[in-house]
Structure 1
């Protein structure tokens, strides 16, 4: 089905060989009165939302509310797109007139492939528009979703696909039928429950809005995916810092914090003896325990160092906040060990080996910023305190305890601790006294 703009363009081309192009275009527009008067303000609003970085929820709900104000009988609208996310593969937003709100739903590949759908059909075939009248009860419908909408009283369904001109990496969709191309783009639909469905005027307006709507959605989705990916790889706070423009080499800041460093035991031997899949699964199970525990207490994971996790709990030096930060770091450490204990129970039942780690807590300054070459940068944490906490963690193995605190961290903690003695650590210019919680016995 041709869009209105395509029909106008074709009509202009037919007239072009008879007269000059400018006159041909003018006569074509006179024969097809434009909808600009109705849609210009809404198109401008969509452009503004894209420039302002509005969320998809705001864009979809705002579009639908303004469409109702233009006397479009709209009862349901959906927009969806593929995402780069460590947990999901697609994002769908649904607006209904009853709720007046756009609700978000994340989808995995099994969700997307579970049933044939208009959206999946358009993305794999490249078809850019599908329309189905739902009010003819005797007419068979090709997709289960349409039958469901019919049962809810909807009478008309207009779906669109606005392609980006690119496709998803086939390696990311290994379970699709051979030769299937998963095209990237924005898919969406508009539905009404009014008797006799959409009018031709409403269809023309909706088709005119597809491209600017897709542009606004793509802008919002790109910003959100950038935040998610930077947060995933750099940490939430660091990711936001990069997005705010802190990308110059040498740019950084000093942070006073309680520092947590965790290191997995026997990972080198496991890497040498186990299959790659088993090794990575074990490593990820360990990271899940430590990172989730840090996140739960509001800490910031700075980086992974092989099988180690470096995290911090910042506070303002010279304030009572240091005690709070130490309490949060200690709670995260205990939680991580408890989570590992639960994982190990399940691993023992499955005949898998135990996952063990050592955790050290320290307090001091972290120099955190951009380092590297002019073309390849890393946002990294450095400084004496980072070196000291990593060295201190090695004492967990020597002292046979899973968690140790430095004298600096212990000075911030108000609870009972027992001294494990003073130690000269390699690369550290002073002796450090190590402490353990009473429940962890050597």
Structure 2
């Protein structure tokens, strides 16, 4: 076993980046005397916005990673060398540019501009019923040498493909796991789960600014359930979520037609800074939600109600033994939800507690003391002037 095989195995065991895997593989092949112009790995993923990640190594400039969306040029694979190989049932194909080829592809011109003289494609299938969309990887290499890769070099690369594919598969599965946890349980919660906080009741008390948002009037439209309503709801939820992310907050969960988000108060962000970020997110969400309503002039507008509060909450695993939810509970969560319920009665789209109002960078006015359900003492509430 050579140094390259050993290095690939190490990447398969502990590597965390397909880009690093490709870069090291291409550079080490070049050090062995195989002069490469370009190397490429495409790895499909399971992601709500990204269909496949393209990793391209170029001898002059290194590796670039590009995520391709589900909507972008879905026919690109079909008209590529890999699409041709798939239709022909080929796992390997070598095109030399100094010979007349029956097929010509747009990527060949790009490779020629880099000094490449051929194109070697490999398709490696992953047969895994548990992850059917992670179907395999597409790998290609192009040589700088006149006449392209030699038979010995083709055999060398073919012999390395099982190891390279296994390493890419393991890293790809890890990326898929992280991506799914980030998407479905949130960035912080996902990292906590991967770090081993998986037992029921495990967690910690944290201090945060809380944002609770809900669409007023959506229940009246619920009988119209269907794709058009879901598509519109997604736009309203995006209007709420995007400002939260932009201001450094985390969406803990979507609650039907609303969401609960936190802005951590810690060494990196003071109480006042977290409250200000939550307020800025709320103001932006109200503006974006209004724009969504304008886009549906013939439909009933859906007003957005938002409440802001801060305090200590328990952040951890809650639920049954076989089905857990990583979320926050505590008096502060109860209060912010009760505050949001008063938005209609007080005719205010945005209500904040005294702790948030005291940190507001924008002028506020008092709404007076109010009784919150389940809270023994009246709370003075505020809104923007």
Calculate the TM-score normalised by the size of structure 2: 0.93
Larger Rg: 1
Instruction: Flag the structure with higher strand content.
Output: 2
Deviations 1:328-360 (A, max 9, x none): 010000111111222233333xx3432311000
User: What SS does the corresponding residue of 2:36 show, helix, strand or coil?
Assistant: coil
Deviations 1:252-278 (A, max 9, x none): 111111110000111111111x24112
- State the distance in 1 between where 2:156 and 2:32 align: 10
Aligned length: 383
The equivalent residue for 1:337 is 286
- State the distance in 2 between where 1:276 and 1:123 align: 37
The equivalent residue for 2:348 is 401
- State the distance in 2 between where 1:154 and 1:132 align: 11
Q: 1:160 aligns with which of 119, 122, 130?
A: 122
The equivalent residue for 2:236 is 286
- State the distance in 2 between where 1:352 and 1:149 align: 52
User: Do the aligned partners of residues 98 and 165 (structure 1) sit closer, same or farther apart at CA in structure 2, a change above 3 Å counting?
Assistant: same
- State the distance in 1 between where 2:16 and 2:269 align: 39
1:228 aligns to 2:168 (yes or no)? no
Alignment of structure 1 residues 110-149 onto 2, 5 Å: 110-114=72-76, 115-123=78-86, 126-136=89-99, 138-146=100-108, 148-149=110-111
Does the CA contact (< 8 Å) of 1:168 and 1:184 recur in 2? no
1:184 aligns to 2:147 (yes or no)? no
Deviations 1:208-243 (A, max 9, x none): 111111111112222222111111111111111111
1:107 aligns to 2:71 (yes or no)? no
User: What SS does the corresponding residue of 1:422 show, helix, strand or coil?
Assistant: strand
Q: 1:392 aligns with which of 324, 339, 359?
A: 339
User: Do the aligned partners of residues 322 and 157 (structure 1) sit closer, same or farther apart at CA in structure 2, a change above 3 Å counting?
Assistant: same
The equivalent residue for 2:250 is 300
Give the Å deviation of 1:142: 4.9
Gaps of 5+ in 2: none
The equivalent residue for 2:43 is 81
Give the Å deviation of 1:118: 2.3
Alignment of structure 1 residues 285-434 onto 2, 5 Å: 285-316=235-266, 321-348=270-297, 351-413=298-360, 415-434=362-381
Comparing 244-253 with 148-157, which one deviates more in the overlay? 148-157
Instruction: Flag the structure with higher helix content.
Output: 1
The equivalent residue for 2:58 is 96
1:56 aligns to 2:25 (yes or no)? no
Does the CA contact (< 8 Å) of 2:218 and 2:302 recur in 1? no
Gaps of 5+ in 1: 1-35, 171-181
